[in-house]
Amino acid sequence: MEWVRITSVTCDDMAYLFQDKQAQEVLIMDDLFAEMKSPEPSRQDLAEGAVLLRQRALDVEDKLLDGVCQISNRAPFRNMMTPGGFSMSVAMTNCGRAGWVTDRRGYRYQENDPETGQPWPEMPDVFCELAEQAAAEAGYEGFSPDACLINRYEPGARMSLHQDRDEKDFQNPIVSISLGLPATFQFGGLKRTDEVKKYLLQHGDVVVWGGASRLFYHGVLTLKDGDHPKTGHVRYNLTFRKAY
């Protein structure tokens, strides 16, 4: 079992391996442990103010995926352009009052979908309720998100290290729900150069960060191919924020 996994390391991984052998070994071990352990709900502190609630979204997985499907029928996934003119490998859409967008003019929230000119689809109750409950369990009582960014990762897509800083008030936490294929989440510190820890996020896992870690750098390593029973070759990530 272990050896199957090790031999499935991709070319992309190999390039990474040469750059950072130790980190890659940790990543392989993460995958091994993830496959060996039977998953179960648990709570893990990642840093001051940051908590990983494993499998916290599992009991509403179908409702969440149904919501993603309905939202993307009205506001289709698209690969947005960075201010520097690069097309993002992660495809995005939004629901809720405010939607996060990027184009040559910069990163921002706006209330209309630039593709359709229409308001973003409403945030389904099940989205909002789960985000509020998870935030409360992580110590952020009273979180009331007005923005939900939906990321769609296909194999090869990644999100480089960044801070979430387009929101008005950093007192509010961020709630992030993972669905579908597993991905390696990087969680660092306040400086880009701070040490980064890696966590394998699987279907149903929820991460909440705020307080002392609200502006911590984070990112997602290149998604490996796989076939998830609920989403096929795709990982979705829902991030809830209070934009205004």
Rule CB under 6 A: which residues touch ligand SIN?
Answer: 151, 159, 176, 178, 185, 218, 220, 237, 239
DSSP 100-128: EEEETTEEEEESB-TTTSSBPPPPPHHHH
Contact yes or no for 65/223 (Cβ under 8 A):
no
Q: Is 167 in the site for Fe ion (CB under 5 A)?
A: no
Question: Of 132, 164, 167, 205, which one interacts with Fe ion (CB under 5 A)?
Answer: 164
Query: Whole-number minimum distance, CB 90 to Fe ion, in Å?
Result: 10
Of the ranges 3-11, 26-34, 49-57, 159-167, which one interacts with Fe ion (CB under 5 A)?
159-167
State how far the alpha carbon of 150 is from the alpha carbons of 25, 75, 219, in Å: 30, 11, 15
Of the ranges 51-59, 164-172, 209-217, 225-233, which one interacts with Fe ion (CB under 5 A)?
164-172
In the chain, DSSP assigns E strands to: 42-47, 50-54, 91-95, 99-103, 106-110, 147-153, 159-162, 174-180, 183-187, 197-201, 206-209, 218-220, 235-241
Distance (Å, whole) CA 44 – CA 51: 6
Q: Give the nearer residue to Fe ion in terms of CB position, either 164 or 205.
A: 164
Q: Give the nearer residue to Fe ion in terms of CB position, either 6 or 212.
A: 212
Comparing every residue's Cβ against Fe ion, the nearest one is 164
Of the ranges 117-125, 136-144, 161-169, 207-215, which one interacts with Fe ion (CB under 5 A)?
161-169
Q: Give the nearer residue to ligand SIN in terms of CB position, either 36 or 57.
A: 57
242: partner contacted, choices Fe ion, ligand SIN, none (Cβ within 5-8 A by kind): none
Q: Is 55 exposed, middle or buried, given 0-12, 13-18 or 19+ CB atoms closer than 10 A?
A: middle
Comparing every residue's Cβ against ligand SIN, the nearest one is 237
237: partner contacted, choices Fe ion, ligand SIN, none (Cβ within 5-8 A by kind): ligand SIN
Distance (Å, whole) CA 112 – CA 48: 35
